[in-house]
Structure 1
Amino acid sequence: MSKHSTSQAFNKKSFLSKAIRCALITGVCTTPALVHAAEAETDQAREIEVIQVTAERRVGNLQTTPIAVTAMSQEALTEHNIADVTDLTGYVPSLVVSGQEDQSDIKVYIRGVGTNNPTETGDQGVGVYVDGVYAARAQGALALMYDLEGIQVLRGPQGTLFGRNNTGGALLLETKKPGDEFEGDFQMTFGNYNRQQISGGVTIPVTDNLSFRLAGYLDRDDGWVNAIDTDPRGSEHNYSGLEIGRVADTNTKLNNTDVRSARLTGLWNISEDLTWTASFETFSDQGNHGILLNPVLVEQDNFDAFIDSPVSLDLTSDVWRSTLSYDITDGINVEYIVGHSQLDRHQVVDQDAGVISRFQEGRTEYQYSDATSHELKIQNTDNGPLSWTTGLYYFEEETNIRFDFDGQGSWLQGGNTFIQPARGAESKAAFLQLGYQLTDELTLTAGVRYTDDLKYDRGGRNIQDCNNEFIRPTLGGSQLSVFEDFLNNSTGMEGADGLDDYTGLERTRNQCAATLRNDIEDESSKTTYLLRADYQMKDHLIYASVGTGYRAGVIQDGGESTKPENSTSYEIGSKSDINTEYGDVRINLAAFFIDYEDLIRSGFDEDKNQIVNSNVAAAEIKGVEAEITWLFGDGGRLDFAGSYLDASYTDYISDNGGDNPGNELITEGPQAGLYDLSGNTLPQSPELQFSANLSWAFSTDHGDYIPRLNVRYVDDIYFTDQNQVSSAINNTINDVQQTGTYFGDDAAGQEAHTKMNLGMKFYPAEGDWSLDFYVNNVTDKMTRSSVSFDNGTAAGNPGRYAAPRTFGVRFNTSF
């Protein structure tokens, strides 16, 4: 054996251990060299890895689990630069994730099912769970894509086994747990826009049955939007002579990343039958995301923004999670899962950014959200024909929030403040799921869950400045009556007329009043179910299921509420592993039909001067999904994930027809003057989308190289129910009013597009480290995730864009 062969064998042994670990974790191992290395060590043909998932709240093989689920490992997430939930769009069939910058949160859609109101008044249609604990606030879900065993995306309603409001699906994240040996890993990335990312984790055994894992993550860059000091609108637009408080800040980083997180996990094997896992995670985000840009300038590769608000974000989140697992007998296990989270957020958003022809500023003066969940889960663990899982669930959350808005426009001259000292939710549930194996091949499953939800607002008020003046003191609002002038924060009761509740003194501007009082308690309940049959042959599974999902109603300003939202899903699917002369192939398919009722939709009501939620629509959604893996040649691998989606409204009457002549105006009857939106496509529901990942591993005297190519295609996406195909041009540039009409399917959406990523990973012949060179968005395609409907431009509405081309190098090592 040559010297190189000896070192190569040593390196391959390290690869083999990684390959084995890769096969055991929850995730897709998209590193063909690991499997190829295993082949070199064992002199066996390459095989597609076995992937373990927990989609049914117990460990099982992906290929024998009769649910449409996508699994990805931490390695795959890192290679594709998926740092948070928002980066998953395009990699998972039927999944779209977008952000809402005023709240610094996310909106998750699966198969067209989601919500456009993920604020403190509502809930996600897709639940996010970390180590079995529900992530109550969508903002916290942005932080969790590091030091994971893997993630799973469950598509379709999950109405029996999972805790909260899963009309569309569930996203499961499993953090890496400490083992019984000292080991660790470290990663460092440098890229353009001065990106600097460091992450890693280390496992420290203390005794034979007690160990800890400490992991951390830091990611920063300077951002790709430029702050300028010359207002592109000129000097004569609608500011009503306002000059005070408007100073352009050219030193602010825009669309930048500035996040950090740390997690400490402990695993204690108390006895042979009793195990306790507990973790504490802290996270902070100080980046300025989602800056509004003019699409006319974006088409010229001009990413300038005129920022005259003190933009900032200070978001922190602390989460405690605990799982106590006890084997009552050889065949029965009970788990007590508890989680508690605290989220604090302070944020200022420049809502015009020099694009909209007036001043607009939104400020979350404070948001304090506390959530706690408890779950008692009991299930059998033996191998008999009957499998069962049952349990009880309780969740509570309360948010104290104040949001201020200053602006000048057709519907507002001055400021509004929205102060809700106690907006909360309580949810109680009991669940049971049974599976019975009638024969060696045929299994029937039935599940049921009863959920009772309470939503409340205690003491919430909306307050508008009485003299059309602003709220922010530097804009002249220092004398504005604030929350204490109307309410006692402790009791929520109104104070004496004309007197401040705290000081007892006369109000400075006592003619101001709360425009809306928001007190309400609303309770709803629902029984959801699952029925399924699956037939398992040697390497082939087919299944058929019907299941329901439920999302609790939404409370809103003015003390009003909506009914719950409901979905019923019918699905057939198959999962196959096929060995051919051209290599091993895995083909997983699913076809579905969803009857979606009482859809809750949000919109701004100019008469009420507030966001209004109501059950206004019904929809039907049908589609097919495919996930294919092909191992070919000595080191080739192709992974494909794609979907076809037909998501359309069957019943929707709205007072807003948008800029779409296809939205029929009703001229007769009680609905005269309203618009019929039936037939329109649901927002965030592209008809076609797919991701294809091609890689090839080959060896040289210097080491192993793995070049890779990723291509993602996403069809046209509408951001609104109206499916706008045009927008009025009424922007101001250099004091000249722009007029006319823009026509295009992307007037209020994102046109179909393709993005390409390239990478090259290098493993040296000696040493347990690697280098990964990457270029993302190779063609520099600019795409929007949301738009503003004020002041359309000659290239459509102003929008918030994903990043342009980025590149860098990543160093990985383990020990």
Structure 2
Amino acid sequence: MMRSAINGRKAAFYRTGMLASAATIALAVPHAAFAQTEPQASEAAAPLGNEIIVTARKANETLQEVPVTVSVVDRKTLDDYHVNHVEDVASRVPTLNVQIGGSGSGGQLSLRGVGSSNISAAFDSAVAFDFDGVQISTMRLVQAGFFDVGQVEVLKGPQSLYFGKSATAGVLSLKSAEPTRTWEAAAKASYEFEEKGKVVGGYVSGPLGDDLGIRLAAQYTDIDRFQRLQVGTPAVKNPRTLKDIVGRLTLNWQPQDRFTANLKVQYVHTENDGAIAQSDIYCGANGRADEIYLLQGAVAFPAGYDCKTNNGRYYLTDTNPALAKSVPNFSRAQGYNGVPFGETDLYFARMRFDLDMSDTIKLTSISGFVDLNAIDVDNYSYGGIGPAFSPVGNLLGRPLSAFAPALAAINGPGVPGGVGTSDPVNKLRQYTQELRLASNFDGPINFLVGAFYENRRFVFNTAQQAVNISLIAPDPVTGYTFDYRKIQVTKTDAYSAFGSLTFTPTDQLEISGGVRYTKEDKTNTISIPYVHSILSAGAFVKSGFFSGPIEFHDTNFSPEATVKYKVTPTINVFASVKTGYKSGGVDNSALPSNSLLGFASPDPLVQAATARSLVFKSEKAKGGEIGFKSEFAGRTLTLNGTAYYYVFKDLQVQSFNATTVQFVTQNAGEVTTKGVDLEMRWRTPLEGLNLSTNLSFLNGKFTKDFFNPGPDGKSGTADDINLNGRKVARAPNLSGNVGFDWTAPVGEDLSLGLSGNMTYSGKYFTNNSTLSDYVQKSWTTFDARVSFGQRDDRWRVAVVGVNLADKLYTNTSGGRPFLAPANPYGVPVGDDQILTQNRGRQIFVEASMKF
């Protein structure tokens, strides 16, 4: 926490602008900055040449000095390669895996093979998502675009002491750009040829006075072919589209030298044609498109898809008309006529105050507010096309109308067969407050103490087609065609206190350590206002069901300690012992069938056991790492490395049985990850040429018994599968990237820019369910950029290629819902798999101007 040597009210206020200007003209490789990027306005420090400034310990430190394993993606890379979604960051950070889409959490982040469920929205993320100093609990945010970001930092391994409530696997931190010291404006427009996308954005930034700065930034994205569907897919919207609007206001106010206030207000609006992102189907060992098997064989749809994986053509059907007529309880999905859609509104605000209480004591306050309202309608059968048939009827010689009259009335060739439909509304309102008191004494001892509070209310409100009973008939009482509506509300209060001491007995030695205490309380309620009359007469709860409060409480102490030694002025070594914590909670994926029927029992013990079955335990991590950070050849060559070993207890895992259509939430016994991360950056003797590389060697395994339900979908039965000894998902043994950036002068005022990036990943499992989950083979992607313009970037035109080889790879996989079990009707047992994938090739032509 070095004080800037810059004095004076006006000079202090403009520190951020000086850094912003430096970052704007700096040369950078495609994944790591070679010049200082923009820190938070209130954390700005004096420029330090070509050093990269990070805030991994909530203070300005250079990347080479901070004893933390952190990867940095600078602003130039973000702008140059159209990195405007979280998933785009993954190609720059080895072992970072990002999945987008789905009706539950809406996405997933994982690092070094450790992440959280992409099915349930009840899980906090093992990789914390920090936006401008505010930790955001919902992974729905990864679906939203971002823009005008100054820097992305990815901290690997448990991060307990300095971030929110703690995190077991790491932190992904986004820092948006700040006001500049002089007035400037910029605009950029691009067109992308593969997805037919248009992007227009820009900002205006500058001083409103000696003590007040402003920055206004906005971007609009319109993609016409976000998902191209297979020829013959029964869908009105083919291809599927995506629209995105991002707008942000930043105000930086410094009325006196000792006080700074920084306000950020952001709005994101996203529209799409359904929650399912790039999802292909692997047709399994039997090599055929397995039927959509419903109502215990009374109904089946041909799947329709062609079993050609990795060709960028998906099979996402509309909802069958018999199921789409009427949605219960006045959902916004009413009237959608079976055509999937999605809409998200996200409001974010952050107020930061920094007060120098004295020359050696600084108080920081960060207040955060998040308001999310998202709805999406999609079909989770991932297939289905008419004419449907009845396996039971074929055996008995009876027509389809004898078993599913509502379906038979509209059945025919080409009729959409999308089933498993849901219309989830995800609403989050979150308030956070953090206070930090930090010292900057001249002596050997300094401290940081603080407190954190989070209050959030999350509502998961959805109508679903789990049984698809209206293929037989609409509800005879209400006329609704959905199976039920479930509303699950989770209220969370988290309290945390933390403190650390740093002891620097000599100029070479630093010893630091601290602990975070966390107390978390969650109250969950489940209400089922509506159940289809036919289902409520059977093995389903009744309309009007209410669970009563389901409670979760936990406390945790997470300590850590680090020793850093400066071997020479350009070589640092460090060793850390760390712990991590992620709160448990109450699963919100339970269906209102057998998993909730215990609440209706008159026996309080049965009710309590039912509530306990929905609770999952907290996840914990402990271990350590040793590393070095070094610079050679006049600080033009940087080489950093870390070796780590971590053990994760009670890893929170959720699986889905595609035959029984049931979710299983549990805690894995133990996962151990160990490996080595290496990073190199070189500003070569050839003027304007920079090279870089990242490598990661990883071994992540289940190291204690972990039993997953077998084909019967039930835990504790003879067919359970023990994953002990198997590698964890998304953990390649080797991954990395190599990049270059070269700028050459052309005449007196112009320059030519060339840059490229190659990303490699070894093979990895894509799910944590069986011993034979889908394995993604090793893959390589290539990005490139060619630009021409004025040296000061007053204008520039460019051609950008992302994933030039159009390589599609799988992030996660799982059984396709409604697979046929063993049956006497002649329908083969299903084994198809859903593969969630990356986006394909993108070719941009762009023009930018600065004023």
Describe the SS at the equivalent of 2:674: strand
Return closer, same or farther for 1:325/1:48 CA change in 2, 3 Å cut-off: closer
2:318 is aligned, of 307, 314, 327, to: 307
Pairing 1:321–2:350 present = yes
Question: Could you tell me how far apart the structure 2 residues matched to 1:263 and 1:339 are?
Answer: 15
Pairing 1:207–2:201 present = no
Question: Could you tell me how far apart the structure 2 residues matched to 1:688 and 1:438 are?
Answer: 39
Q: CA deviation at 1:695?
A: 2.7
Question: Could you tell me how far apart the structure 2 residues matched to 1:457 and 1:122 are?
Answer: 13
After superposition, give the CA deviation of every residue in 1:610-655 in whole Å (9 maximum; x if it has no partner).
Answer: 5332223211110100111122223322111121110000113324
Q: CA deviation at 1:23?
A: 5.8
Pairing 1:613–2:672 present = no
2:496–2:519 Cα contact (<8 Å) kept = yes
1:33–1:635 Cα contact (<8 Å) kept = no
After superposition, give the CA deviation of every residue in 1:198-247 in whole Å (9 maximum; x if it has no partner).
Answer: 1221114222111221111111111253457845xxxxxxxxxxxxxxxx
Question: Could you tell me how far apart the structure 1 residues matched to 2:348 and 2:176 are?
Answer: 13
Describe the SS at the equivalent of 1:207: coil
Q: CA deviation at 1:393?
A: 0.6
Residue aligning to 1:711: 758
1:118-267 to structure 2, matched below 5 A, reads 119-143=120-144, 145-192=146-193, 193-227=195-229, 230=232, 248-254=234-240, 256-267=241-252
Return closer, same or farther for 1:408/1:297 CA change in 2, 3 Å cut-off: farther
2:431 is aligned, of 372, 397, 418, to: 372
Residue aligning to 1:392: 451
Paired letter, 2:56: A
Question: Could you tell me how far apart the structure 2 residues matched to 1:630 and 1:457 are?
Answer: 53
Residue aligning to 2:532: 465
Paired letter, 2:733: E
2:438–2:449 Cα contact (<8 Å) kept = yes
Question: Could you tell me how far apart the structure 1 residues matched to 2:670 and 2:123 are?
Answer: 19
After superposition, give the CA deviation of every residue in 1:579-627 in whole Å (9 maximum; x if it has no partner).
Answer: 17xx931111000000111112112479997533222321111010011
Question: Could you tell me how far apart the structure 2 residues matched to 1:90 and 1:228 are?
Answer: 27
Greater shift, 412-421 or 335-344, is seen at 412-421
Paired letter, 1:172: S
Pairing 1:456–2:523 present = yes
Return closer, same or farther for 1:33/1:280 CA change in 2, 3 Å cut-off: closer
Residue aligning to 1:473: none
Return closer, same or farther for 1:456/1:197 CA change in 2, 3 Å cut-off: same
Paired letter, 2:223: D
Question: Could you tell me how far apart the structure 2 residues matched to 1:593 and 1:397 are?
Answer: 33
Describe the SS at the equivalent of 1:354: coil
Return closer, same or farther for 1:769/1:794 CA change in 2, 3 Å cut-off: farther
1:587–1:627 Cα contact (<8 Å) kept = yes
Q: CA deviation at 1:185?
A: 2.0
1:28-107 to structure 2, matched below 5 A, reads 29-30=28-29, 49-103=50-104, 105-107=106-108
Q: CA deviation at 1:724?
A: 5.2
After superposition, give the CA deviation of every residue in 1:514-551 in whole Å (9 maximum; x if it has no partner).
Answer: 67836311110000011110001210110000010001
1:323–1:337 Cα contact (<8 Å) kept = yes
Residue aligning to 2:373: 344
2:102–2:118 Cα contact (<8 Å) kept = no
Question: Could you tell me how far apart the structure 1 residues matched to 2:717 and 2:317 are?
Answer: 43
1:428-577 to structure 2, matched below 5 A, reads 428-461=495-528, 464-468=531-535, 512-513=542-543, 517=547, 519-536=549-566, 537-556=568-587, 557=590, 558=596, 559-560=611-612, 561-577=615-631
TM-score (norm. length: structure 2): 0.76
Describe the SS at the equivalent of 2:77: helix
2:531–2:541 Cα contact (<8 Å) kept = no
Question: Could you tell me how far apart the structure 2 residues matched to 1:323 and 1:771 are?
Answer: 37
Q: CA deviation at 1:770?
A: 1.4
Q: CA deviation at 1:675?
A: 2.4
1:778 is aligned, of 792, 804, 812, to: 804
1:26–1:71 Cα contact (<8 Å) kept = no
Residue aligning to 1:813: 849
Return closer, same or farther for 1:32/1:575 CA change in 2, 3 Å cut-off: closer
Residue aligning to 1:624: 676
| Unaligned residue ranges in structure 1 (runs of 5+) | 1-16, 37-46, 232-247, 470-479, 482-509, 660-664, 726-746
Describe the SS at the equivalent of 1:89: helix
Return closer, same or farther for 1:118/1:183 CA change in 2, 3 Å cut-off: farther
Paired letter, 1:381: N
Equivalent pairs counted in the alignment come to 703
Residue aligning to 2:406: none
2:105–2:122 Cα contact (<8 Å) kept = no
1:598–1:616 Cα contact (<8 Å) kept = yes
Question: Could you tell me how far apart the structure 1 residues matched to 2:692 and 2:815 are?
Answer: 38
Paired letter, 2:90: T
Question: Could you tell me how far apart the structure 1 residues matched to 2:214 and 2:257 are?
Answer: 19
1:387–1:436 Cα contact (<8 Å) kept = yes
Describe the SS at the equivalent of 2:115: coil
1:386–1:434 Cα contact (<8 Å) kept = yes
2:100–2:142 Cα contact (<8 Å) kept = no
Question: Could you tell me how far apart the structure 2 residues matched to 1:672 and 1:363 are?
Answer: 33
Question: Could you tell me how far apart the structure 2 residues matched to 1:596 and 1:313 are?
Answer: 36
Paired letter, 1:283: V
Residue aligning to 2:257: 272
Describe the SS at the equivalent of 1:93: coil
Return closer, same or farther for 1:396/1:301 CA change in 2, 3 Å cut-off: closer
Paired letter, 1:769: W
Describe the SS at the equivalent of 2:703: strand
Paired letter, 1:708: S
Describe the SS at the equivalent of 1:63: coil
Describe the SS at the equivalent of 1:785: strand
2:317–2:418 Cα contact (<8 Å) kept = no
CA RMSD across the alignment:
3.6
2:527–2:544 Cα contact (<8 Å) kept = no
Residue aligning to 1:800: 836
Paired letter, 2:100: G
2:494 is aligned, of 427, 433, 454, to: 427
Pairing 1:693–2:739 present = yes
Describe the SS at the equivalent of 2:114: coil
Return closer, same or farther for 1:723/1:707 CA change in 2, 3 Å cut-off: farther
After superposition, give the CA deviation of every residue in 1:718-742 in whole Å (9 maximum; x if it has no partner).
Answer: 22213554xxxxxxxxxxxxxxxxx
Q: CA deviation at 1:677?
A: 1.0
Paired letter, 2:846: R
Q: CA deviation at 1:109?
A: 0.8
2:580–2:622 Cα contact (<8 Å) kept = yes
Pairing 1:722–2:765 present = no
TM-score (norm. length: structure 1): 0.79
Paired letter, 1:62: L
Question: Could you tell me how far apart the structure 1 residues matched to 2:49 and 2:771 are?
Answer: 45
Residue aligning to 1:579: 633
Return closer, same or farther for 1:32/1:112 CA change in 2, 3 Å cut-off: closer
Q: CA deviation at 1:364?
A: 3.1
Paired letter, 1:328: M
1:118–1:138 Cα contact (<8 Å) kept = no
2:645–2:675 Cα contact (<8 Å) kept = yes
Q: CA deviation at 1:378?
A: 0.6
Paired letter, 1:450: Y
| Unaligned residue ranges in structure 2 (runs of 5+) | 1-15, 36-47, 283-306, 320-337, 389-416, 473-480, 591-595, 597-610, 821-828
Paired letter, 1:572: I
Describe the SS at the equivalent of 2:815: coil
